[in-house]
Amino acid sequence: MKKIVMSLGGSVMVPGNDDVGYLAGLADLVLSRRDEARFVIVTGGGRTARDYIDMGRRLGMDEASLDGLGISVTRVNARLLIGALKGYSYPVPFGTLEEGLLSVRTHGLTVGGGTHPGHTTDTVSALIAEMWGADLFVNLTAVPGAFTSDPKKNPDARRLDRLTTEELLELVSRTDKKAGSHSVMDPLAAQIIHRAGIDTAILDGRDLDALGRCLSGEPFDGTVVTTKGEGT
């Protein structure tokens, strides 16, 4: 069976736009692949985490404590997705990388959030993908792939349909590393993907058709990241 790790951004999960319908559809899609793949899904904190982190920063909290605040929100989101999975997943969010690896072996499907301060949920996902020997890492973002710059801020941003892991690492290398920062992928996660040589897909997490095609190994609307071959 294929081993698939999905990093599900909090801004994709609960942006306030038919979130219940989206989560039900995502759960149905994942469950429909249970006979052919095992899944680890790591949820981000999204807008809620950023709001709490902003308030904590204004209250004078240090960055490690702010990370802990964000981690708490990611685990709330993980519980929400576990609820959508109708009892088929490990019943609680895993709290460590080791628990994530053990729980996917026993249940075939497990969901978690952040693990400890200093690691984004992208990094948690990449570390589990490396330790587990995943066949595919899927980064579900709020935009349809990796772009030359933020397409929500720059209308001239160009999507990069194919990248090497080295090119992805260069693209994200200037990301802010403070708690609550956001980009198409955390630089440390990109570095782990590069060193582990894991095939990666970056796509709009709300586009369940694209996700379904990606999981089936078909061409999809998004960015394919490979360890070698032609990039941009």
Query: Per residue in 193-202, pLDDT tens?
Result: 999 999 999 9
CATH code for 2-226?
Answer: 3.40.1160.10
Contact 124, 112 (CB under 8 A): yes
- Let me know the angle formed at the C-alpha of 16 by 146 and 117, rounded to the nearest 5 degrees: 60
* pTM for the predicted model, two decimal places: 0.92
CA separation for the pair 137, 168 (Å, rounded): 14
The helix or strand, by DSSP H or E, that contains position 204, with its residue range, turns out to be strand 200-204
pLDDT tens by residue, 90-128: 999 999 999 999 999 999 999 999 998 888 999 999 999
The answer to whether 38 touches 108, Cβ cutoff 8 Å, is yes
DSSP state of 14: -
- The mean pLDDT value for 161-173 works out to 92
